[in-house]
Amino acid sequence: MSVKEKVLVSRTIAVPADTNPWGDIFGGWILSLMDIAAGSIAARLARGSIATKAIKDVTFDAPIFVGDEVSVYAEVEKIGNTSITLNIYVTIKRKGQNEEIDAVKGVFVMVALDENRRPRPVRQKWADV
């Protein structure tokens, strides 16, 4: 993976357990999928423990319904001294349709942690990850 390469991290189907009390897909569930994707990529790049430092500029551009196929993509925006900034995108496909719809996007800042849970330098040799 290289900087500005958008990669698929996960794909799942939205089910009734993922809804809020009004029957809509719960935004917190989507944010959780996005955070897991950011953490997965950042941990690989940092070669170790990471934590979410910030979630910025999240926009929900299309509703997500039960039965939608939900795909989460990650793109490394920047690698700093102790942090990795990723753009996370969620697309959906409605039941029985092939059109991919841009649904949610956001910026996640992840921090590499040492054994004492303190920020540590990100290992810069990550091209082979």
pTM: 0.90
Question: Which DSSP string do the residues of 26-62 spell out, in sequence order?
Answer: PHHHHHHHHHHHHHHHHHHHHTS-EEEEEEEEEEE-S
pLDDT of residue 76: 95
The residue-averaged pLDDT of 85-92 equals: 98
Give the span between the Cα atoms of 26 and 53, in whole angstroms.
22
Could you tell me the CA-to-CA distances from 75 to 48, 52, 96, 114 in Å, in that order?
Answer: 19, 16, 28, 24
- The answer to whether residue 10 scores a pLDDT higher than 70 is yes
Q: Would you say residue 3 has pLDDT above 70?
A: no
Residue 1 pLDDT > 80? no
- Is the pLDDT at 27 greater than 70, yes or no? yes
> Domains of the chain (ranges plus CATH)?
7-112 (3.10.129.10)
